[in-house]
Each structure stands twice: as structure tokens, then as C-alpha cells.
Structure 1
Amino acid sequence: MAAAKKPVRWHIAVFLAPAVLIYTSVMILPLFGTLQLSLFGRGESGLIFVGFDNFRTLLFDPRWSASFWNALWNNTWFFIIHMAVQNPIGILLAALLSNPRLRLRGFYRTAIFVPTILSFVIVGFAWKLILSPLWGVAPSLLDMVGLRSLFEPWLGKEEYALTTLGLISVWQFIGIPMMLIYAALLSIPEELLEAAECDGITGMSQFWKIKLPLILPSIGIISVLTFVGNFNAFDLIYATQGAMAGPNFSTDILGTFLYRTFFGFQLQIGDPNMGATIASMMFLIILVGVCIYLFMIQTRLRRYQF
């Protein structure tokens, strides 16, 4: 007797088609268009194929390389701030809010998450007002507690500006890792925690020995999201410091460098080909970082099935 044929699940393609078409039109095609544009340059007769010359110019030409490496280092420091400050504090807040004995947990979750939904323009303008040495409230608040001598024009000094913007970004987005870790903690079975309590593992010891190993995959996902988000950053720097990313390009990151190069700004004439080259480098950096996580870190993380 002939084996029955498996039914063709055509409905899967029907349901996926709209999402695939939209994603292809707004993500895949522009990506390949950007990569293609980075391989061309301007000649007397129009666009000419130059291969990887634009990448060599970006990386090794003194006129371009100094700006590129400066922006790349600033981007890296911006990412380090989020990894070292935002994610550990987000994990700590999630651990505190997951305590069933904590009162007003819903209010705290909402208050911490609200800045995440605010516009970058609002956040940037508000913090410029707060930290302004002329009319900001920060000097007055520090003066009230006798710490006025600690105040500096943090957004106006090269050595402080990028770190200050990084901490502002941490304040705005700390709710995202907090909520993701909070959801992961709530998914841990109560039976497992009760068994740990029977063995005398409670409090912080329970978090370090039981909960933390179980949420490591979630922490890994948050780290990847932080990496991708920070190397795509643009809005806060632009809203706060402008396209020139002052003072003296000390807050210039790849996003603002790309904006000035592609569209032009003030006396700088836009160069779409070099702009596409910078965008391609950003894509390659993010791709390498995500691949390192997927193939070298995620495969080593323990996964627990409940």
C-alpha cells in the first residue's frame, strides 16, 4: 500500500508572505543597494566601479581614517558604558522587583520603564537644560547638598561629554534589560526555588547559584541587543550635540559620521559613495559581533527546559 502523501502546508507561505515582502523591501533591498553603492565612485562621466578603493580610503587615507577610527572608538566606549552600567543595574533591578514581598512593584516597574518610550529629542533637550551651567537645575541641586564644587559643564568638555551621553542613554533604556530579565526570572518554576530553600539556599545565595545560571541565555540576548543598538546609535547624539558631535568631535560616533558624510553638513559636501562605505562598515562590524556571540558564546550557554 502506497504511503500517504504529506499535505502541502501552503497556508504557511501565505501567512509569511506579507512580512517577508515588507522586510525585503525596507531592509534587504536597501542593504544590498548600500553595499553596491559603496563599490562605486564619482568620475567625470558619472559613477564608475572602484571596487574596494572606498574602503581603503576610509581605513588608511589620513583625511578619512582619523575621523573613522575616532568614531569607532567612541562607539566602542558608548557600548562599554551600557554593558558595564546599564545591564548589571537592569539585572539588579529585575532581581529586586521579582521579590514577591516588595510592595508597589507595579509602580516601580512603570516608573523605571517610562523613559524608554520618550522621544530622543525630548530626552536630549531635557538633559541639556538640566546640565546647563547657566540655567540648569543640576548646579542648584548639588549646591543644596554642599557638592557644588563637583559640578562641571559635562556636555561641554571633551573628556566628559561622551560618558555623560552614555549615562543619559543608560537612564533612558535601563527599563528594557530590566523587563527582559524580570520576565526570565518569573519563568523559573516555583518548585525549583522551593527545593533550593529546603537545601538552605536563600537570599542572594539563591540568586547567584540558582537564578543567575538559569537566566544566562536571556542575559546573552540582552548583550547582543545592546551591541546592535549602540553601534546603530545616532538619535541621542544628534539631538544633544548636533551633527558635528561636539565638542571637537569628542562625541562623534559612526552614526553621526555617516550622516555628515552621506548628506553633507555646513561646509562639508555630501558623498553618497563614502557614506555607503561607512554604512557597510557598520553592517560588517555588527555582523561580526553577532556571529561571535552566536557561534562562540551562545553554544556554550547551558539551556534548561522546564
Structure 2
Amino acid sequence: MSVDDQPIKKPFRWHILVFLAPAFLVYTAFMIVPLAGTLQLSLFRRIDQQLVYVGLDNFRMLFGDPRWSVNFWNALWNNVWFFIIHMLVQNPIGVLLAALLSSPTLRFRAFYRTAIFVPTVLSFVIVGFVWKLILSPLWGVAPSLLNSVGLRSLFAPWLGKEEYALTALSLISVWQFVGIPMMLIYAALLSIPDEVIEAAEMDGITGISQFWKIKLPLILPSIGIISILTFVGNFNAFDLIYTAQGALAGPNFSTDILGTFLYRAFFGFQLQLGDPNMGAAIATMMFLIILAGVAVYLFAIQTRLRRYQF
């Protein structure tokens, strides 16, 4: 083979590294380094004013020591319930609202989209404080509103009862964030080619059957992405619980989730002294739980949803 027939070696594109470097440095400084520091801190314990390497002992205490395990398993179960409420209520409502808003015959669609999405940009402090006022049995408007429609007997101090408090806060969070899955699904519905819809209509598939048979399978990848975002967001939740119920996540820790448990363990609260090492162990468990959920989605679910993508 002559010299002229040899393939030309392409020069390395150094400008790609130049463009990626700022984002990589910022992400490393604010995400990777703190994460590594947290993982390292979880393997140590302060004994006699000195940090001593204890390996996995902090995790053994977290799982088996009654001083820590009772609150940990309670917070984990509450977090799971918090996530279930969002999956069973928020995301189906978001899909329903997106389907209604995508109807070409619906008037004032822009107004409805804006009105539903506005709560997502509100501060957690505002949302928590306002809903505590609304649901207060003393000065809230909820009792009078229910009384005006003859349902006063249904009212209860939902945020003050152990069996209702977490579900009530979950539904408040659903009200605040239902606009996000709505907008994502709405965008996915609009991206469906007109040729597909026209072909379905020619075959006599219209209305609700068209949504179930044609549109829903095509937006399954978007629903999968929303589900994993919901999972990550719920297991990182903290602000709403802390604003509405305080660091103790009352009543009687019935609204305690991993975020509030981590806050009390790391920084301490009232008579409880902070323990950064146990707090780091809790944060590490939160990271591993989220990592496991994302891995299951990426390797077990997303690969099956690709068949529906264009």
C-alpha cells in the first residue's frame, strides 16, 4: 500500500476539553469532592477527641443499635411512603392533565398550564407555612370551606395526627410539583408526529382509545424519566417537612424522613448533640439507595422502553 493510500490520522480535538473543563471543575468542586469527603467521614468516629478509623461500625450502629436503628428504619419507611404517594397520585394526575391540555379543542390552555405550573416555583417555606395556616383547626380556612359545602364532619387536624400527617404533607408536595410531570408529558405528547395520529384516525382509533393504544406507548420513555426523577427528588426531600413540622418531624416522628433524620444526626437539635460521622453514614445510605434506584432504572427499565422511541 502506497503512502497516499494510508488513512489520514485525525488530529485530537483539544477544544472539546477546553469547553468541558469549566463544567467539570465546578461539578468536581461542588459534587465529587464533598461526596468523597462524606464517604470518608462515614468510616471514622471521634473517640477521645480524635478521629479513629472504624470501618463499617457506623453502619452497623445505624442498622442494629436501637439508639439509631429505630429512627432510621422509621425514616426510611416514611420516605418510601412519601415516594409511593407521589408515584400513585402526582404522576398519574400529571399524565391526565397533560392529555387534557394537549387536546386541540380545549380553550385557555396557556392559562391552565401557567396556573398549574406556578406552585412549582414557590418557596418551600411559603408552601409549608401557607398550608399549615389553611389546615389549622383554630384559624385555618379548611374547616369553614368544608362547612360551606356540608362536609365539616370530614375535617380533622391532619397535620397533627400521626396517622394522617405524612400523607397530608405528601399530598401538599403533590399539589406543588404536579406541574413538572404535566409539562414533561405535555411536551412528549406534542412531539408525537402528526402522521401517526392521522394514521390512527384513519383506522378509526380516536378519543380515549387513541390515547391508550397510540399515545401512551409512545410517551412511556418520558414517563420512565419522570418516575426516576420523582424517586431521586423524594429521597432527597427535606425542605417541606422541615418547614411544616420542624426538625423533629412530628407528631412523634410520624413525618420523619431520611432528610430530617440526617439533619438531626449531623447538626444536632435541642438536647441532641450532633454526630457528623453518623450523619455522614446516613448521607451515604441515602446516596446508595438513590444510586441503586437509578441503576435499576437504567439497566432494567430504560432498555425495554427504547423500543417505543422514534
Range class of TM-score, shorter chain:
over 0.9
Q: 1:44 aligns with which of 13, 34, 48?
A: 48
Matched, 1:138 2:142: yes
Structure 1 residues 224, 305: CA separation in 2 closer, same or farther (over 3 Å shift)?
closer
Aligned to 1:244, the other structure's residue is in SS state coil
**Counterparts of 1:281 and 1:214, CA distance in 2:** 35
Unaligned runs of 5+ in 1: none
Q: 1:29 aligns with which of 17, 33, 38?
A: 33
TM-score (norm 2): 0.97
Aligned partners of 2:218 and 2:309 also within 8 Å: no
In structure 2, what is the equivalent of residue 239 of structure 1?
Answer: 243
Matched, 1:173 2:177: yes
Matched, 1:91 2:112: no
Matched, 1:273 2:277: yes
Map residues 99-114 of structure 1 onto 2, 5 A cutoff.
Answer: 99-114=103-118
In structure 1, what is the equivalent of residue 219 of structure 2?
Answer: 215
Aligned partners of 1:57 and 1:64 also within 8 Å: yes
CA shift at 1:304, angstroms?
4.2
TM-score (norm 1): 0.99
CA shift at 1:299, angstroms?
1.1
**Counterparts of 1:303 and 1:144, CA distance in 2:** 52
The alignment of Structure 1 onto Structure 2 pairs a total of residues equal to 306
**Counterparts of 1:147 and 1:63, CA distance in 2:** 43
In structure 2, what is the equivalent of residue 258 of structure 1?
Answer: 262
Q: 2:155 aligns with which of 143, 146, 151?
A: 151
Matched, 1:8 2:12: yes
Identity of aligned residues (%): 81
Which runs of 4 or more aligned residues in structure 1 lie more than 3 Å from their structure 2 counterparts after TM superposition? Answer: 302-306
Aligned to 1:42, the other structure's residue is in SS state strand
Larger mean CA deviation between 89-98 and 42-51 belongs to 42-51
Matched, 1:54 2:58: yes
In structure 2, what is the equivalent of residue 249 of structure 1?
Answer: 253
In structure 2, what is the equivalent of residue 116 of structure 1?
Answer: 120
Aligned to 1:48, the other structure's residue is in SS state strand
In structure 1, what is the equivalent of residue 75 of structure 2?
Answer: 71
CA shift at 1:302, angstroms?
3.7
**Counterparts of 1:35 and 1:8, CA distance in 2:** 36
Matched, 1:184 2:188: yes
CA shift at 1:3, angstroms?
2.1
